[in-house]
Structures are given as C-alpha cells and as structure tokens.
Amino acid sequence: ASRTGTATAQGAELVLKGVTKPFELSHEIRIGVDAKGGTVTSSASGSGATLQVTGSDEVVVYVTLGTSYQLKPNVFLQNNDANKLAGYPVPTERIQADLASAIAKGFTALLERHVADYSPIFERAVINLGGKAESYPLYLTNQLLRESNKTSEQTRFLEELYFQYGRYLLIASSRKGTLPANLQGTWNMTRSAPWTGGYWANINIQMNYWPAFSTNIEETFEPYWKFF
C-alpha cells in the first residue's frame, strides 16, 4: 500500500497519523470538536476511531496538521527514496499547540485574523463587469452556477466572483515561508490527487501564478522562485 495510517480518539479530539511511500513521508492531523449543547463521544477500534456529536445546536471543527517534509538540499540529493526524510520527525508538539491555540481563540477570532491577514493584499485590485447578484448567499456556488445564465448581469457577476476567487486562492496558498502552490494549491479533496498534486512546470504551476503580477499580488510569487 502507498499509505498506511491509524486513527485514535479521546474526548473531543481525533488524531490521524500515517506514512506515505516511497519517501516515507510522515503526517499527523489533529481534529478538535467544539460543540455547543449536546454531547461528544469518542470510540476506537483497531486502527480506526470516530467522534460522534449528538444533540448539539452548533459544532465548530478545528483542524491542524503537519508533515515530516523539509525543503533542504540533502532531501533532493539523497538518492535512496526511503532515506530522504530520515531524521525529520512530524512536529507533534507544534500541531498539538496549534490546535489548542485555535480552540482557545475560537471561530470568530480566527476568522477576523484571517480577514485582517489577506484583505490588504486582496483589496489591491477590483473588477467591475456590470455584474449583479441575486439575494441568495454567495457560498451557494452551485446555485450561482445554475442561475448564472438567466441574465447577462448574473453571468458577469459570476465572472467577477471567479476572478477574485482565483486571487484569493493564490494569496491563501502561496505566501512567504511556504512552499509554492502546487496543482491543487492547498486544497486537494481526493485520496489520490490528480497528477499527484505535483509541480508540473510545463504549464500547471505557471497557471497558478498568472494573477501574481497582473493583479498586483506579486509577493505570492516569492515561494515559486525560491523553490526553483
């Protein structure tokens, strides 16, 4: 198997640990549940575990994670795949601290911090194609797509939204001190990412960075050129 892993649960926390071959890349994911009202119960059996929320009015799920990956010359120069990350453990203590800190801050404070972080960069470019939105919430993207062909104003609104959404994704996935955005950015929803979620320098990674200079978010390009 290319991946092996285990899950454990205690209280309102779920811990997923695993290793991915051929580079023996270790990862750890910690999930904390903050439920208002109701109960949270955990159970474990073998290599699997679950958290169950019952009768709650509101649930906030916090996720922190880390891997053993290191962007260092010896990782690239080591010919034996299994030894590339030898001596580099998963940063468990940092992952635990991040989860505890996130839960202590709470959803509202984390959202405010995120908005304060990306907004000064994001707001450097605006676009107006004459679009007009209906009254339903913008997070209902599937409804936006269904309704977009009813009027030209709705179609143009969706194009405006898509333009800014692409800029937001690049801002959120390529910042100083991080790896550059790969084929899926930081949002891969599948167990086996299409094209391995890699850096395909024949076009895919360049496509991620098309907005960097043309829409005034040039600092997102730094991880790209530092990586190469």
Give residue 135's pLDDT.
66
84 vs 74: CA distance, rounded Å: 7
pLDDT digits (tens, 9 = 90+) for 78-123: 999 999 999 999 999 999 999 999 999 999 999 999 999 999 999 9
pLDDT score for 136: 61
pLDDT digits (tens, 9 = 90+) for 115-169: 999 999 999 999 999 988 776 666 667 777 776 666 788 888 888 989 999 999 9
Residue 176: pLDDT band (50, 70, 90) is: very high
Give me the percent of the chain exceeding a pLDDT of 90. 64
Do 42 and 50 touch, CB atoms closer than 8 A?
Answer: yes
What does 128-166 look like in DSSP terms, one character per residue?
Answer: -SS----SS-TT-HHHHHHHTTS-HHHHHHHHHHHHHHH
Given a cut of 80, whether residue 56 has pLDDT beyond it is yes
Q: What is the mean pLDDT of residues 208-228?
A: 93
The gap from C-alpha 5 to its chain's centroid, in whole angstroms, comes to: 20
> In the chain, pLDDT over 70 holds for what percent of residues?
95
User: What gap in Å lies between CA 132 and CA 142, rounded to an integer?
Assistant: 17
- Are 61 and 110 contacting, i.e. CB atoms less than 8 angstroms apart? no
**Among candidate residues 134, 144, 121, 150, the one with its CA nearest the CA of residue 219:** 121
Average pLDDT for 193-204? 85
Task: DSSP for the chain, please give it.
Answer: --EEEEEEEETTEEEEEEEETTTTEEEEEEEEEEEESSEEEEEEETTEEEEEEES-SEEEEEEEEEES----HHHHH---GGGTTTT----HHHHHHHHHHHHHH-HHHHHHHHHHHHHHHHTT----SS----SS-TT-HHHHHHHTTS-HHHHHHHHHHHHHHHHHHHHHH--TTSPPP-TTTT---SSS-GGGG---TTTHHHHHTTHHHHTT-GGGGHHHHHH-
Quote the tokens at residue 28: 């750890």
Q: State the pLDDT at residue 139.
A: 62
So what's the pLDDT on residue 187? 78
For 15-42, write each residue's pLDDT tens digit: 999 999 889 999 999 999 999 999 999 9
